[in-house]
Amino acid sequence: MKNNTKLIRAGQNKKRNAGIVNTPVYHASTVVFDSMAHMLDAQDRNLKKREKNLFYGRRGTPTHWTLQEAISELECAADTFLTPSGLSACTISILGCVKAGGHILVTDSVYEPTRNFCDSFLSGFGVETTYYDPLIGAGIAALIKPNTAAVFCESPGSHTFEMQDLPAISKAAHAKSTPDQPIMVLTDNTWASPLFCQPLNLGCDVSIQAATKYVVGHSDAMVGTISVNDAALPGVANAMSAIGVTLGPDEAYLATRGLRTLAVRLKQHHFNALIVAEWLEKRPEVKRVLFPALPSDPGYEVWKRDCSGACGLMGVVFHRTSYEAITAMIDGMELFPLGFSWGGFESLIAPSNPSRIVARTARPWTEPAPGLRLHIGLEDPEDLIADLEKGLARFNQAL
Ligand SMILES: Cc1ncc(COP(=O)(O)O)c(C=O)c1O
């Protein structure tokens, strides 16, 4: 079945939901049982057999199961866990794969809060982090130590947009994996979404979504998803259960509702973003547009091989830039409000300074900064270009 069709049908369960198309929101903590035998059976089925049956609110309700099953189908995963934010999906999946005395390899282009978690939190639990060049590919093998338990990827990278060779990294890491020291390969798959890339089919063990972005798609809910293969399932299930996080049912509902229209939205994001990227690329002020779907992007071939589409997020690097010029541009934008996050229906703008924001150690970012991060929304690209043109006039005047 094609992914566009999966998006519409996945996770729907006519019998479970009495024929209602969108699984209703179950607000639940307590679930009552008919007898001791019923309770013990429900406990056993939920905790041990991992069946989707009602046991206790934190362990999930039909509202959660619909989203879990749908994301699992898209990501081609054995199962999917739901968390209350994209960042918690990154951190909990790491906690499910490493233990004290272990070592994790993390891409130098990783989302900065994930990096903070490794530096300020994991280190306190005796887990060592080494950052690696995002373009390392099979060369990752040389960095693997006897205690390496995980390799964390993010493709393309936050702010700098390097595409990673996930098949080569996974193959090299798994070749060094042993029964005593298994190595899990995790990737933050938010940019491509579960629609355009299936990292588990490329050899990864865990695929993470900040579903806050395109899955929810309307900038109104925080959701994380962790999709696992059979190898990663026990560790991540243990971390989820021990930490005790759960996704609110309203957020689960909004994520499923967003998912149904992901294909039409992303098609338009991709279309609009390419028009804007091609226009920006021709501007004399612009040195580089960081967008893997542009044929001029160094990651284009990997993107074409591993992804079936692109989203609306890109970076802009200028030949000459200054804080004042970036401020003059951003402050006067009409259709690009300044704000964190991305993946909603609307365009957004933010300053981007990878050399300062991300204290890269393995492959320093040497492009002129600050630059811009643009999220291209569903507006008409002609209007967006007109707004950017006026913004660049302010940029040039303030330079
Ligand atoms: C690549 C990436 N991963 C994870 C996150 C974290 O997601 P959330 O904001 O839902 O915690 C973000 C948020 O911007 C992100 O850009």
Nearest CA to ligand 1 atom 13: 341
The answer to the question of residue 30 being in a domain is no
The answer to the question of residue 204 being in a domain is yes
Q: How far is CA 119 from the centre of its chain?
A: 20
Nearest CA to ligand 1 atom 2: 111
* Residue 247 and residue 276 share a domain: no
The pLDDT mean for the chain works out to: 96
pLDDT tens for 110-166 read 999 999 999 999 999 999 999 999 999 999 999 999 999 999 999 999 999 999 999
Catalytically active residues, by annotation = 58, 111, 188, 213
Of 257, 272, 287, which marks where a domain is finished? Answer: 257
Structure tokens at 375: 């999220």
For residue 210 and ligand 1, the question of a CB distance below 6 A is answered with yes
For residue 107 and ligand 1, the question of a CB distance below 6 A is answered with no
Torsion sign across C-alpha atoms 270, 21, 60, 4: negative
Residue 153 dihedral angles phi and psi, to the nearest 5°: -115, 160
The three state secondary structure string of 158-173 is CCCCCCCCHHHHHHHH
* Residue 295 and residue 165 share a domain: no
Q: Is the peptide bond between 295 and the residue preceding it cis, with omega within 30 degrees of 0? A: no
The DSSP element (H or E) to which 78 belongs, if any, is: none
User: pLDDT exceeding 90 applies to what percent of the chain?
Assistant: 92
pLDDT of residue 354: 72
Question: Which single residue is written with the structure tokens 């507006």?
Answer: 379
pLDDT tens for 299-353 read 999 999 999 999 999 999 999 999 999 999 999 999 999 999 999 999 999 999 8
* Residue 333 and residue 219 share a domain: no
148-154 vs 103-107, strand pairing mode: parallel
Average pLDDT over residues 244-266: 98
The answer to the question of residue 3 being in a domain is no
Of 257, 279, 311, which marks where a domain is finished? Answer: 257
pLDDT of residue 360: 84
For residue 188 and ligand 1, the question of a CB distance below 6 A is answered with yes
Q: Do 331 and 372 contact (CB within 8 A), yes or no?
A: no
Q: Do 236 and 97 contact (CB within 8 A), yes or no?
A: yes
82, 83, 85, 87, best to mutate for ligand 1 pocket (most atoms within 8 Å of CB): 87
Alpha carbon distances (Å) from 23 to 57, 74, 163, 224: 16, 18, 36, 19
Which amino acid is residue 204, in one-letter code?
Answer: C
For residue 336 and ligand 1, the question of a CB distance below 6 A is answered with no
Residue 218 has pLDDT above 70, yes or no: yes
For residue 111 and ligand 1, the question of a CB distance below 6 A is answered with yes
Query: What is the maximal distance between C-alpha atoms in the chain?
Result: 76
Structure tokens at 385: 């270009």
Which amino acid is residue 216, in one-letter code?
Answer: V
* Residue 312 and residue 227 share a domain: no
Alpha helices in 13-85 (DSSP H): 36-43, 62-75
Residue 49 has pLDDT above 90, yes or no: no
* Residue 157 and residue 85 share a domain: yes
For residue 225 and ligand 1, the question of a CB distance below 6 A is answered with no
CA of 284 to the centre of ligand 1 (A): 32
* Residue 378 and residue 293 share a domain: yes
112, 158, 219, best to mutate for ligand 1 pocket (most atoms within 8 Å of CB): 158
* Residue 228 and residue 137 share a domain: yes
pLDDT of residue 356: 64
pLDDT tens for 345-361 read 999 999 998 766 657 88
**How many structural domains is the chain composed of?**
2
* Residue 232 and residue 126 share a domain: yes
d(CA 313, CA 274): 10
pLDDT of residue 156: 98
Alpha carbon distances (Å) from 90 to 77, 114, 147, 207, 302: 17, 7, 21, 9, 23
CA of 86 to the centre of ligand 1 (A): 5
79-83 vs 224-228, strand pairing mode: antiparallel
Of 242, 257, 272, which marks where a domain is finished? Answer: 257
Tell me, yes or no, if the pTM score tops 0.75: yes
pLDDT of residue 357: 61
Alpha carbon distances (Å) from 244 to 55, 76, 86, 126, 275: 15, 25, 16, 22, 44
Which amino acid is residue 111, in one-letter code?
Answer: Y
DSSP 3-state of 124: helix
Domain limits at 247?
68-257
